[in-house]
């Protein structure tokens, strides 16, 4: 069984006001995506890495691969108009077998630890899949401008990546979503749409996604 990481890196980051897509912002003269890729390069279980990106950033990615000797990266494919399409393009371009594990991780989550990644892989190997999440700690409400109701935080998780599924299951989930014109924000939603159980693996507060300028400032302080 092979374990293939797919890194969707096709977002433009325009909504957040960044001058460049957040995955290519630099800190210590090093792009955000490099921190992410290092974790997968060093992890003993990851056999191969595929990046889905905008074609205008292919040259930069090739320079990054050469500079940091990311020899596990086998493909750079064109990303789609959505994250879902980017992952789908990578899946279709891969040479994965049905039982291979596909590990999808956001390029803009640069502080994924080897421990969180490895534990998620163990969960997927035992149970068939794994979605990294952290349990809600704050009081949670539902409402619009005013409080309507309180949610039971014991039953609420914040979903992160990586999300890990067997290739056979994931490609079926994407194919079904394509036929239904269903667009979701992550792979677990698509697999749930197949009627499959999705298992939780423990994440980390440090494994946050850089979305806003404040997130990037926090990342710089943590690094």
Domain extent listing, the chain: 3-222
The per-residue pLDDT for 70 is 98
pTM of the model: 0.95
Phi-psi region of 93 (alpha: psi -120 to 50; beta: other; left: phi over 0): alpha
What is the signed CA dihedral for 206, 209, 212, 215, rounded to 10 degrees? 10
The per-residue pLDDT for 12 is 66
In the CATH scheme, what is the code of domain 3-222?
Answer: 3.90.550.10
The per-residue pLDDT for 14 is 55
Q: What is the C-alpha R_g of the chain?
A: 17
The per-residue pLDDT for 19 is 83
Interval 3-13: pLDDT, tens: 999 999 987 65
pLDDT beneath 70, residues of the chain:
12-16
Rounded to whole angstroms, the Cα distance separating 130 from 63 reads: 32
CA-to-CA separations, 101 to 98, 159, 160, in angstroms, rounded: 8, 19, 18
């Amino acid at each position: 069984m092979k374990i293939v990481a797919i890194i969707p890196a096709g977002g433009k980051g325009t909504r957040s006001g960044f001058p460049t897509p957040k995955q290519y912002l630099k800190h210590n003269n090093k792009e955000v995506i490099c921190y992410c890729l290092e974790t997968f390069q060093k992890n003993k279980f990851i056999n191969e890495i595929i990046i889905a990106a905008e074609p205008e950033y292919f040259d930069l990615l090739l320079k990054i691969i050469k500079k940091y000797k990311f020899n596990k990266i086998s493909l750079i494919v064109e990303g789609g108009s959505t994250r879902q399409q980017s992952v789908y393009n990578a899946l279709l371009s891969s040479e994965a077998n049905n039982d291979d594990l596909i590990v999808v991780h956001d390029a803009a989550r640069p502080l994924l630890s080897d421990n969180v990644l490895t534990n998620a892989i163990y969960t997927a190997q035992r149970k068939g899949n794994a979605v990294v999440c952290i349990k809600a700690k704050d009081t949670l409400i539902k409402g619009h401008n005013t409080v309507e109701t309180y949610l039971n935080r014991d039953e609420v998780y914040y979903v992160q990546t990586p999300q890990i599924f067997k290739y056979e299951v994931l490609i079926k989930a994407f194919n079904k979503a394509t036929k239904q014109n269903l667009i979701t924000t992550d792979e677990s939603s698509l697999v749930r749409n197949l009627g499959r159980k999705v298992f939780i693996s423990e994440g980390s507060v440090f494994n946050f996604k850089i979305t806003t300028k404040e997130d990037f400032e926090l990342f710089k302080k943590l690094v």
